[in-house]
């Protein structure tokens, strides 16, 4: 066996998403520019030091006044290169951190020291993630304890997972296989063990996996939770309850009692569940109970899924299969309750 094969290693991870090629090209371009300019400057400096060295102790060098053309050249060219790098990098950043409107949405929760994933159909995974090849996947993420970072090298995607808020990232896998997941933010003594795998499957295999692990969907679970927390006693579909009506509220603008407005999105719903007094909806009293410590991040995500399902049709489009059975009273998801109601109650 030759030494080449004995010491063979990968310089960069495998390219397995639509982002990977352009991200790699961008970094290669930066490497090449760094090498070219570093070597060019070093060589030029060496030549000039030798050519223009003092040849005798009493030598007085000629005075050079400078050259406007030369100064403009070494100012304008680097400026244009820098602007080009900025434009290219900004384009990639915008693409990577602007989730598409139609995507398979999966909730991810980080916790010392594991990753939990919940699929739209109810499947749950720990330190693994199954996705179909050729389909856009959006991850909505949060942490139950400290700051983490969800990093899939083969997809060239990495996003902070922050306690107390939601962050998102998305990707589209281009070929089946199994790829690494890492936590890229030091999170404690077992940080190095907070790893997992992404399994990219053909659509048929992915559907077979879904069928073999089918569980209660987040929407159905959220509807039950909404009822068990008695949210449906205040958030009535008729709009006559102590809290605002939650039907068709998701992604809409709500007016608060302080005169400002807020968009009823995932973050607002979560805040309303955990801290309902933070933003109270106009015309409603701040009477909603605080659910901090009573519901987990996974349950909050289920409530949000339920609220989406009873919101405008396009709002719940990414929630897989399932509008809950639909009791008018449950029509307001527990999340919903927290959502607008929370703010409103």
Can you list the domains of the chain with their CATH numbers? 9-46+69-215 (2.60.40.420), 218-317 (1.10.760.10)
Which region among 45-49, 198-202, 249-253 has the lowest average model confidence (pLDDT)? 249-253
Band (pLDDT 50/70/90 cuts) for residue 213 is low
- Residue 279 to residue 285: CA distance in whole angstroms: 11
pTM of the predicted model, to two decimals?
A: 0.67
CA-nearest of 130, 144, 131, 183 to 299 is 144
Band (pLDDT 50/70/90 cuts) for residue 52 is confident
- Residue 5 to residue 336: CA distance in whole angstroms: 58
pLDDT at residue 315 tops 70: no
Q: Residue 38's pLDDT is what?
A: 95
Task: Estimate the crossing angle of helix 68-96 against helix 20-51, to 10 degrees.
Answer: 160
- Residue 56 to residue 247: CA distance in whole angstroms: 90
Q: How many Cα atoms occupy the beta-carbon half-sphere of 210 within 13 Å? A: 18
Angle at 95 between CA 114 and CA 183, to 5 degrees: 15
- Residue 162 to residue 141: CA distance in whole angstroms: 8
Reduce the DSSP state of residue 168 to 3 states and report it: strand
- The DSSP element (H or E) to which 224 belongs, if any, is helix 218-228
Q: Residue 136's pLDDT is what?
A: 93
Note the pLDDT tens digit of each residue in 88-145: 999 999 988 888 888 999 999 999 999 999 888 878 899 999 999 999 999 999 998 8
What is the share, in percent, of the chain residues with pLDDT greater than 90? 39
């Amino acid at each position: 066996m030759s030494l080449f094969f004995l010491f063979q290693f990968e310089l960069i991870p495998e390219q397995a998403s639509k982002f990977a090629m352009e991200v790699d090209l961008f970094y290669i371009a930066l490497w090449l520019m760094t090498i070219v300019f570093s070597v060019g400057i070093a060589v030029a400096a060496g030549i000039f030091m030798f050519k223009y060295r003092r040849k005798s102790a009493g030598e007085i060098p000629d005075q050079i006044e400078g050259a406007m053309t030369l100064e403009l050249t070494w100012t304008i060219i680097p400026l244009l290169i820098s602007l080009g790098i900025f434009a290219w990098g900004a384009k990639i950043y915008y693409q990577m951190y602007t989730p598409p409107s139609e995507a398979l949405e999966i909730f991810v929760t980080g916790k010392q020291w594991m990753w939990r994933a919940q699929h739209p159909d109810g499947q749950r995974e720990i330190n693994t993630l199954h996705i179909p090849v050729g389909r856009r996947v959006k991850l909505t993420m949060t942490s139950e304890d400290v700051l983490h970072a969800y990093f899939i090298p083969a997809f060239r995607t990495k996003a902070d997972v922050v306690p107390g808020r939601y962050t998102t990232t998305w990707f589209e896998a281009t070929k089946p296989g199994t790829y690494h997941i890492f936590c890229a933010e030091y999170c404690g003594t077992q940080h190095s063990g907070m790893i997992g795998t992404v399994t990219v499957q053909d659509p048929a295999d992915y559907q077979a996996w879904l069928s073999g692990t089918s569980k209660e969907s987040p929407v159905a679970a959220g509807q039950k939770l909404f009822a068990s927390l008695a949210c449906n006693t205040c958030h009535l579909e008729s709009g006559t309850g102590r809290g605002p009506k939650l039907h068709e509220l998701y992604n809409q603008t709500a007016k608060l009692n302080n005169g400002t407005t807020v968009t009823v999105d995932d973050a607002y719903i979560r805040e309303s569940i955990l801290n309902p007094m933070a933003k109270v909806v106009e015309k409603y009293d701040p009477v909603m109970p605080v659910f901090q410590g009573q519901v987990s991040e996974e349950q909050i995500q289920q409530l949000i899924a339920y609220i989406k399902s009873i919101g405008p049709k396009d709002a719940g489009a990414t929630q897989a299969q399932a509008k809950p059975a639909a009791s008018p009273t449950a029509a307001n998801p527990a999340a919903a309750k927290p959502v607008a109601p929370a703010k409103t109650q």
